């Protein structure tokens, strides 16, 4: 009798009730369900048979009840088969540990007591991801954000976002400029239980040591000359919601120490006050700096990294995920065609070739601006390779030039001088926008506005 069902699942749990209930449920969905009570038999089982998904208990009663046993077995499974799809079964109180297990390579986790529908959805997603990893298409769309990506790397990121958004885990997002770190931070917030509370973003790269405390912790009237009234800091503004500390890798050791204290105590003391104010925030941080290298050189505190990186999301540069380029170009083409009252253009095959060959030092942001320019410049309804011209940031990442001093001509318009100055400072800083902004005395946002304005 053909049932049409496919797939095989292994369940490892030392509670017979759990094994029985899960088996009954999963049998309705997949062709084969194998159960195992003793994790010691796991590896020999896996030597004999491959499973499409493995449900693994986090807490075996026989051992220390810390959940680490689940992590131990997870590691064993992944050592044997790095592509194994492991879904952890965890008790309600262990969610933070389960979130950590995602870092160790678990596909997902379910919390006991589970909802059957939710569990089947998890299995379904796992099986789909396994079968469709190569050519899936993924999108996360919330009220204010759309994240697109069909590359394997982006799909994994999107899955992780769905998983960790509803937890309280602190998240550290790593990636080059323009890879979508802020977008991911916003999506995490919007998919969290804090979604209707504030999302406060702070550009740490733009904060000087002297502004750090007043900006983050606030101040009382009279705390310093210009403090004409009480002002809450960003921590208080984010109370109940999410605080996004962007460019956290750029802060000085003194700021790192102050930040660590606040995160440990979960309270801030405004300048000019003696009374600490408790704050309830979910922390998301991001940086384009190689933060672990900085920590190895003692330039960034390791204890601060451990505070902020309960879960890590690494966004690969666009040049390493060509699979996303076409999707993103079409997405931005639609947006900018509409904005500029033009029909949505087609993409010539040679154009896509050119875009795939470009190294995208400014990542998705650069692509977004390139598409906008192309739409404005395009003659017909097909985007041609010549409609795309690339920014000098490209050159800056290839060579680290010593730039001759820039001498403005007497008759040069001011806007041209500004454009050229910005261009050179970016080149000098090898495309690092934060450093360039600092050198120019601008915030990164202000610099990005000028890049757009001057078509850099």
Ligand X SMILES: Nc1ncnc2c1ncn2[C@@H]1O[C@H](COP(=O)(O)OP(=O)(O)OP(=O)(O)O)[C@@H](O)[C@H]1O
Q: Which residues bind ligand X (CB under 6 A)?
A: 146-149, 175, 177-183, 246, 288, 328, 364-365, 368, 433
Provide the token pair at 436: 């360039």
Residues 174/311, Cβ–Cβ less than 8 Å = no
Nearer to ligand X, 24 or 376 (CB): 376
Shortest distance in whole angstroms from residue 179 CB to ligand X:
4
C-alpha 44, offset from chain centre: 37
Nearer to ligand X, 160 or 365 (CB): 365
Residues 144/190, Cβ–Cβ less than 8 Å = yes
**CA-CA-CA-CA torsion for 19, 21, 23, 25, nearest 10 degrees?**
-150
Nearer to ligand X, 102 or 202 (CB): 202
Question: In 3D, which of 126, 420, 172, 422 has the Cα closest to residue 292?
Answer: 172
Shortest distance in whole angstroms from residue 428 CB to ligand X:
18
Shortest distance in whole angstroms from residue 420 CB to ligand X:
22
What is the rounded distance in angstroms from the CA atom of residue 256 to the CA atom of residue 251? 6
Nearer to ligand X, 178 or 218 (CB): 178
Nearer to ligand X, 15 or 182 (CB): 182
Nearer to ligand X, 177 or 242 (CB): 177
Nearer to ligand X, 238 or 370 (CB): 370
Residue nearest to ligand X (CB): 180
CA-angle at 106, arms to 103 and 111, nearest 5°: 105
**CA-CA-CA-CA torsion for 302, 303, 307, 312, nearest 10 degrees?**
20
Shortest distance in whole angstroms from residue 160 CB to ligand X:
13
What is the rounded distance in angstroms from the CA atom of residue 255 to the CA atom of residue 261? 10
Shortest distance in whole angstroms from residue 334 CB to ligand X:
12
Nearer to ligand X, 170 or 179 (CB): 179
Query: What phi and psi, each to the nearest 5 degrees, are found at residue 159?
Result: -65, -45
Residues 125/108, Cβ–Cβ less than 8 Å = yes
Other CB atoms within 10 Å distance of the CB of residue 83: 9
Shortest distance in whole angstroms from residue 388 CB to ligand X:
17
Question: In 3D, which of 102, 22, 9 has the Cα closest to residue 53?
Answer: 9
Three-class DSSP category at 63: coil
Shortest distance in whole angstroms from residue 148 CB to ligand X:
4
What is the rounded distance in angstroms from the CA atom of residue 154 to the CA atom of residue 321? 8
Nearer to ligand X, 181 or 191 (CB): 181
Contacts of 342-346 with C-beta under 8 Å, sequence gap 24+, read 342/375, 343/381, 345/375, 345/378, 345/380, 345/381, 345/382, 345/383, 346/381, 346/382, 346/383
Shortest distance in whole angstroms from residue 177 CB to ligand X:
4
């Amino acid at each position: 009798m053909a049932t049409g069902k496919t797939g095989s699942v292994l369940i490892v749990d030392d509670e017979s009730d759990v094994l029985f209930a899960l088996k009954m449920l999963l049998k309705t969905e997949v062709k084969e369900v194998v159960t195992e009570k003793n994790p010691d038999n796991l590896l020999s089982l896996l030597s004999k048979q491959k499973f499409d998904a493995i449900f693994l208990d986090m807490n075996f009663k026989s051992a220390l009840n810390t959940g680490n046993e689940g992590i131990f077995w997870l590691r064993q499974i992944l050592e044997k088969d790095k592509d194994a799809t492991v879904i952890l079964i965890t008790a309600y109180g262990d969610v933070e540990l389960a979130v950590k297990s995602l870092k160790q390579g678990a596909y997902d986790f379910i919390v006991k007591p589970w909802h059957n529908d939710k569990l089947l959805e998890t299995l379904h997603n796992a099986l789909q991801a396994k079968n469709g990893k190569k050519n899936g298409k993924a999108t996360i769309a919330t009220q204010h954000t759309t994240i697109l990506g069909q590359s394997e790397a982006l799909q994994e990121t999107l899955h992780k976002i769905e998983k960790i958004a509803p937890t309280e885990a602190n998240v550290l997002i790593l990636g080059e400029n323009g890879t979508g770190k802020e977008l991911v931070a916003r999506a995490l917030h919007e998919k969290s239980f804090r979604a209707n509370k504030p999302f406060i973003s702070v550009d740490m790269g733009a904060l000087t040591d002297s502004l750090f405390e007043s900006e983050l912790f606030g101040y009382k009237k009279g705390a310093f000359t210009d403090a004409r009234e009480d002002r809450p800091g960003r921590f208080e503004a984010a109370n109940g919601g999410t605080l996004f500390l962007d460019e956290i890798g750029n802060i000085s050791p003194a700021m790192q120490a102050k930040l660590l204290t606040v995160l440990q105590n979960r309270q801030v003391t405004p300048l000019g006050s003696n009374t600490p104010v408790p704050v309830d925030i979910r922390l998301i941080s991001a940086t384009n700096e190689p933060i672990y290298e900085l920590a190895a050189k003692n330039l960034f505190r390791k204890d601060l990294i451990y505070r902020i990186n309960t879960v890590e999301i690494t966004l690969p540069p666009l040049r390493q995920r060509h699979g996303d380029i076409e999707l993103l170009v079409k997405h931005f083409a639609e947006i900018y065609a509409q904005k500029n009252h033009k029909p949505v253009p087609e993409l010539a095959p040679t154009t896509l070739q050119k875009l795939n060959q470009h190294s995208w030092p400014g990542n998705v942001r650069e692509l977004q601006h390139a598409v906008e320019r192309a739409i404005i410049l395009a003659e017909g309804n097909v985007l041609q390779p010549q409609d795309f011209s690339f920014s000098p940031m490209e050159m800056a990442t290839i060579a680290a030039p010593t730039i001759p001093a820039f001498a403005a001509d007497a008759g040069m318009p001011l806007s041209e001088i500004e454009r050229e100055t910005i261009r050179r400072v970016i080149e000098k800083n090898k495309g690092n926008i934060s450093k360039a902004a600092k050198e120019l005395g601008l915030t990164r946002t202000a610099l990005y506005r000028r890049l757009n304005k001057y078509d850099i």
